Amino acid sequence: MSAEHLRPLSEEECRALLATSEIGRVGVSVRALPAIFPVRYTMLDDHVVFRTSRETLLAKVASDAIVAFEADAIDNEQGHGWSVLVVGRAELIDRGAELEHVRLIPLLPWTTSSDDSFVRISTDYISGRAFDPL
């Protein structure tokens, strides 16, 4: 694939595409080294929201940190796809009406745990690109 087949996406296109996917990756810093974790996510009030166990390394390092989040989709048969990058602050949703609200979202965890927590990532910076068939 050559660069002329890449097309930048508008912020609106990026947000719309994020709403169509369920799996993404969160990039965080762990002891000053990059680490990437796959997550199931949803978009809620213009934020990326994912569920994880409170005891995971991801929950511990992501809370109140600047993180990167990426989601994408590729259709190998048709030869097109997209990738969206979000950079923003991750915050633990851990109390009140907001917590009760996110618990109602059909956001399945990847692990069974009694101490599930939810993390919200602001969309302070959002960019993306689409790629089209050769």
Beta-sheet strands, E only, within 5-96: 6-9, 23-30, 33-44, 47-53, 65-75, 80-93
Judge whether residue 112 has pLDDT over 70: no
What is the CA angle 70-14-81, rounded to 5?
70
In percent, the amount of the chain with pLDDT more than 70 equals 91
Instruction: Report CA-CA distances (Å) from 132 to 8, 50, 128.
Output: 11, 29, 14
pLDDT confidence of residue 111: 65
Give 7 or 53, the one with higher predicted confidence. Answer: 7
* pTM strictly above 0.85: yes
How many Cβ atoms from other residues are within 10 Å of residue 53's Cβ?
Answer: 17
63-111, pLDDT tens digit by residue? 889 999 999 999 888 878 999 999 999 998 877 787 778 777 877 766 6
Across 104-124, average pLDDT: 78
Please, how many CA atoms are within 13 Å of residue 58, restricted to the half-sphere of its CB? 20
- Among 32-36, 41-45, 130-134, the range scoring the smallest mean pLDDT is 130-134
> Using CA of residue 83, residue 87, residue 93, residue 98, what is the dihedral sign?
negative
- CATH 3.40.50.970: does it fit domain 3-126? no
Q: Could you state, in order of their start, the residue ranges of all structural domains in the chain?
A: 3-126
For residue 118, what is the enclosing H or E element?
Answer: strand 116-121
